[in-house]
Amino acid sequence: MEEAGDKSGGSRKKGLKRKAATEELQEAAVVEDGATESGVQPRKVAAFPPGFSTSEIKNKQRRHLMFTRWKQQQRKEKLAAKKKLKKEREALGDKAPPKPIPKTIDNQRVYDETTVDPNDEEVAYDEATDEFASYFNRQTSPKILITTSDRPHGRTVRLCEQLSTVIPNSHVYYRRGLALKKIIPQCIARDFTDLIVINEDRKTPKILLAVPHEVEFVRRGKDPTEHIPEIILNNFTTRLGHSIGRMFASLFPHNPQFIGRQVATFHNQRDYIFFRFHRYIFKSEKKVGIQELGPRFTLKLRSLQKGTFDSKYGEYEWVHKPREMDTSRRKFHL
Amino acid sequence: MVQISVGPDPPLRARVTQTLRRKCGCRLPDFGMAAAGARWNHVWIGTETGILKGVNLQRKQAANFTAAGQPRREEAVSTLCWGAGGETQILVGCADWTVRHFSTEEGRFQGQRHCPGGEGTFRGLAQVDGTLITCVDSGILRVWGDNDKETSSGPLLELRVGPGVCRMRQDPVHPHVVATGGKENALKVWDLQGSEEPVFRAKNVRNDWLDLRVPIWDQDIQFLPESQKLVTCTGYHQVRVYDPASPQRRPVLEATYGEYPLTAMTLTPGGNSVIVGNTHGQLAEIDLRQGRLLGCLKGLAGSVRGLQCHPSKPLLASCGLDRILRVHRIRNPRGLEHKVYLKSQLNCLLLSGRDNWEDEPQEPQDPSKVPLEDTEADELWASLEAAAKRKLPDLERTPGALQTRKRNKKRPGSTSP
């Protein structure tokens, strides 16, 4: 709390000078009396003992008054400073120094040592031979099974349906009390390549292995067509991010049909992955119109397991540990 | 007045040129540097892509070594062990049933031998008296003879240990004694010089409170020093101590930790506790005298694949599926010392047990190194030496010595481009 402003506070509500002349030990009440008596005398400004802040005033209304006055003054100073800066910039014209960039959490991100360098051969080899390599080599085409937890509610069912329209070559099956571990070998036998399980938490759908934070259904009449969409993966920089990005990319077939003008976007920001599905149309060279179709949801990675789903005995490649990993607000893992 | 010591001795010159080299921005080719400094690496790690990585924690450098020059997933390293002759040789067990010899002195792979038999990858590798002991997943334990003889002669000894082996470990005190254990494969201790039957065969614990058989899944085994005891850690998050000397074949002590399978284990210096790691990346130190948890180590995010403690210092190296090598300090204070990002998934590691961690004597001037000294450094030295001559003209002997030394250095250097 600035004390310079406080010292200048006077007894009267309006019309008192803000800047304190001297520090005098005077009670506010005494000054007020003195002021009312001597209207002709030069205005005395009430001064406060050094080290006094307005928060020590016991009278709430008075305290509030002092605070609002201080706030107004701060605002005035800020405005004055801004105007001054603007004038200086205009005066300098071209020679003005560039505007300082505001600090954001994304700007201040702690450099992650696992950030992938595009020229890195070892990482390139690792990616070229991992489990998703067969998709990227166009050897296999994805076939996806979408299912839910047992006895799904309405919202989950609708999400499943929307997802199945968004992701080509996907099928929705209800899980009537079947164990996941038993489903997996059957899926493999029937050539399914991916399995998406939408779990429920208090009747809001949540996807297994990634926890969505909010799911919104786009309530437009438009539906995605059967064309295979293009995929945009934004901002997956670290090695882990790369793996996740490849996993998402492998959900969709690898021959985007540009005629369909549909695009699915997985945008990673601050470890949250936003999924959007749009249809775009180029009105001119630079202008694009987009229309949002399909569900919109946000995901957060909880864990990445090696091999197929086995929560008890499986080996984890990455596990989110909140108390260890979330200590810094500027450190992100994807 | 600047005092320049007359007649710089070789170590000083080497140090100065190294600084100059670094400052000038010129670097030795990676392979040469890596190969030359390979013997000083503190940790050796095998990866899933078939690369052997040597990490020097003092210089904070990691170097890759591959047999074929290219990483190959078929050669994924599954086990590592020290070869004969101290820590100069490493035996690398790969997924294609070959065991490759790597020399740390020279920094390159020297040879390999094909050790077929059984299915699955190597679960244990050991060497004794020039022979090689291998054990694969399907339970075939073989002892292979000298490399000089024809490899087609086959193994010297073959034992069937039982299917589903997860680990085979050699007793450091009695190199002919090995222990094996795995999934539904109880702990067995074999004497390779003795009979074909195991010396000690562990018995499963009693049925639990529901009268159900307790499943067995021994993931890692260690021999405790100064006694015949063995410690195992299981996939059902148990740590068990067996004592072959006692009449009971059941575990003498059992402790549990966490809820996830324990994948790796190592003994601490002191021999009273073990450190275990599980598939969630949690590391814990468990006291074996009482069976209680002493403390945990933080940091790992993926499944722990390899753990090793230094024999005398309180340092622990851990590697896992999150592609990062971490070196923790176990006591006073407990915490992370080094963290190195290595780009592939790490499978197993070997920690050098040598004591002189910090001291790295400067390698003397090898003739192979001199051509790589750049001419700028030489010119700088020449000017320095000239200045030295100028400043201290009274010493007549030394300028001559300097010149001869310079001449010596220049001779091999003149051949360089």
Q: Name chain A contacts of B261, Cβ cutoff 8 Å.
A: 313
Contact B303 A316 (CB under 8 A): yes
What percentage of chain A has pLDDT greater than the value 90?
8
Helix (H) or strand (E) holding B18: helix B10-24
Q: Name chain A contacts of B298, Cβ cutoff 8 Å.
A: 324
Separation of alpha carbons A142 and A167, rounded Å: 10
What is residue B259's DSSP assignment? S
**Model pLDDT, residue B34:** 56
Is the confidence at residue A31, as pLDDT, over 50? no
First to last CA, chain A: 40
* Closest CA–CA distance from residue B324 to any residue of chain A (Å): 9
Considering only CB atoms, A324 lies closest to which of B260, B298, B323, namely B298
Q: What is the mean pLDDT of residues B160-186?
A: 91
Q: Name chain B contacts of A315, Cβ cutoff 8 Å.
A: 263, 279, 302-303, 321
- Contact assessment for residue B305 and residue B346, using Cβ atoms and an 8 Å cutoff: yes
Interface of B with A in 61-80 (CB under 8 A): 64, 70-71, 73
Q: Name chain B contacts of A125, Cβ cutoff 8 Å.
A: 49, 70-71
Contact B302 A318 (CB under 8 A): yes
Site of tokens 């205009």:
A90
Concatenating the DSSP letter of every residue in B50-119 gives S-EEEEETTTTEEEEE-SSSS--GGG-EEEEEE-SSTTSEEEEEETTSEEEEEETTTTEEEEEEE---SS
For A313, nearest residue in chain B (alpha carbons) = B261
For B48, nearest residue in chain A (alpha carbons) = A126
Q: How far is CA A138 from CA A133, A141, A252, B33, in A?
A: 9, 7, 12, 40
Contact A239 B323 (CB under 8 A): yes
State the amino acid at position A87 in one-letter form. Answer: K
* Closest CA–CA distance from residue B207 to any residue of chain A (Å): 22
In degrees rounded to 5, what are phi and psi of residue A81? -65, -40
- Contact assessment for residue B284 and residue B275, using Cβ atoms and an 8 Å cutoff: yes
Is the confidence at residue B79, as pLDDT, over 70? yes
Angle at B347 between CA B343 and CA B351, to 5 degrees: 95
3-state secondary structure of A44: coil
Concatenating the DSSP letter of every residue in A242-298 gives HHHHHHHHTTS-S---GGG-EEEEEEEETTEEEEEEEEEEESSSS-EEEEEEEEEEE
- B209 interfacial to chain A (CB closer than 8 Å): no
Summarised one tens digit per residue, pLDDT across range A187-211 is 778 877 777 777 765 444 444 444 4
Residue A28 φ/ψ region, left for φ over 0, alpha for ψ in the -120 to 50 degree band, beta for the rest = alpha
- Contact assessment for residue B94 and residue B75, using Cβ atoms and an 8 Å cutoff: yes
Separation of alpha carbons B364 and A261, rounded Å: 67
Separation of alpha carbons B10 and B314, rounded Å: 36
- B323 interfacial to chain A (CB closer than 8 Å): yes
Contact B322 A317 (CB under 8 A): yes
- Contact assessment for residue A298 and residue A212, using Cβ atoms and an 8 Å cutoff: yes
User: If 0-12 CB within 10 Å is exposed, 13-18 middle and 19+ buried, where does residue B16 land?
Assistant: middle
Mean pLDDT of chain A: 76
Summarised one tens digit per residue, pLDDT across range B348-394 is 999 888 887 765 665 554 444 444 445 566 666 666 666 556 554 44
In degrees rounded to 5, what are phi and psi of residue A108? -90, 15
Helix (H) or strand (E) holding B178: strand B177-182
Summarised one tens digit per residue, pLDDT across range B299-309 is 898 899 999 99
3-state secondary structure of A27: coil
Higher pLDDT, residue B12 or A92: A92
**Model pLDDT, residue B305:** 92
Considering only CB atoms, B301 lies closest to which of A120, A313, A319, namely A319
- Contact assessment for residue B62 and residue B34, using Cβ atoms and an 8 Å cutoff: no
CB neighbourhood size of A226 (10 A) = 10
**Model pLDDT, residue B261:** 93
Q: What is the mean pLDDT of residues A92-111?
A: 84
* Closest CA–CA distance from residue A204 to any residue of chain B (Å): 28
Of the candidates A162, A180, A2, A174, the one whose C-alpha atom is nearest the C-alpha of residue A75 is A2
* Closest CA–CA distance from residue A114 to any residue of chain B (Å): 7
Summarised one tens digit per residue, pLDDT across range B262-294 is 999 999 988 789 999 999 999 999 999 998 999
Calculate the CA dihedral of residues B116, B118, B119, B120 and round it to 10 degrees.
-70
Q: Is the preceding omega at residue B311 within 30 degrees of 0, hence cis? A: no
Contact A315 B279 (CB under 8 A): yes
Is the confidence at residue A177, as pLDDT, over 50? yes
Q: Name chain B contacts of A325, Cβ cutoff 8 Å.
A: 301
Token pair belonging to B257: 């930790």
Calculate the CA dihedral of residues A309, A315, A320, A322 and round it to 10 degrees.
120
Contacts of B7 by beta carbon, 8 Å cutoff, 6+ apart: B398, B401, B402
Q: How confident is the model at residue B207 (pLDDT cuts 50, 70, 90)?
A: very high
**Model pLDDT, residue A42:** 57
Give residue ranges of A with CB < 8 Å to any B CB.
113-114, 120, 122-123, 125-126, 129, 239, 306, 312-319, 321, 324-325
Of the candidates A88, A92, A55, the one whose C-alpha atom is nearest the C-alpha of residue A70 is A55
CB contacts < 8 Å between A and B, how many? 60
What is residue A79's DSSP assignment? H
Considering only CB atoms, B321 lies closest to which of A113, A317, A325, namely A317
**Model pLDDT, residue A200:** 65
Considering only CB atoms, A317 lies closest to which of B235, B299, B302, namely B302
Q: Pick from A316, A320, A326, A333 the residue to mutate for testing the B interface (most B CBs within 10 Å).
A: A316
Of the candidates A26, A24, A34, A28, the one whose C-alpha atom is nearest the C-alpha of residue A10 is A28
- B258 interfacial to chain A (CB closer than 8 Å): no
Summarised one tens digit per residue, pLDDT across range A63-98 is 999 999 999 999 999 999 999 988 988 888 777 778
Output the CATH code of domain B115-256: 2.130.10.10
**Model pLDDT, residue A212:** 42
Is the confidence at residue B6, as pLDDT, over 60? no
* Closest CA–CA distance from residue B345 to any residue of chain A (Å): 9
Considering only CB atoms, A125 lies closest to which of B71, B302, B321, namely B71
Considering only CB atoms, B71 lies closest to which of A122, A321, A325, namely A122
- Contact assessment for residue A293 and residue A224, using Cβ atoms and an 8 Å cutoff: yes
**Model pLDDT, residue B35:** 63
pTM over cut 0.80:
no
Q: Which residues pair with A305 in a beta bridge?
A: A316
User: If 0-12 CB within 10 Å is exposed, 13-18 middle and 19+ buried, where does residue B21 land?
Assistant: middle
Which value, in Å, is the radius of gyration of the alpha carbons in chain B? 26
Q: Pick from B236, B300, B303, B319 the residue to mutate for testing the A interface (most A CBs within 10 Å).
A: B303
- B269 interfacial to chain A (CB closer than 8 Å): no
Mean pLDDT of chain B: 80
Q: Name chain B contacts of A318, Cβ cutoff 8 Å.
A: 301-302, 321-322
Domain boundaries, chain B: 115-256
First to last CA, chain B: 38
- Contact assessment for residue B255 and residue B244, using Cβ atoms and an 8 Å cutoff: no
Q: How confident is the model at residue B251 (pLDDT cuts 50, 70, 90)?
A: very high
Separation of alpha carbons A83 and A89, rounded Å: 10
For A318, nearest residue in chain B (alpha carbons) = B302
Q: Distance from CA of residue A271 to its chain's centroid?
A: 8
Least confident of A238-252, A289-303, B391-405: B391-405
Contact B303 A123 (CB under 8 A): no
Q: Pick from A110, A302, A317 the residue to mutate for testing the B interface (most B CBs within 10 Å).
A: A317
Helix (H) or strand (E) holding B144: strand B140-144
**Model pLDDT, residue A20:** 42
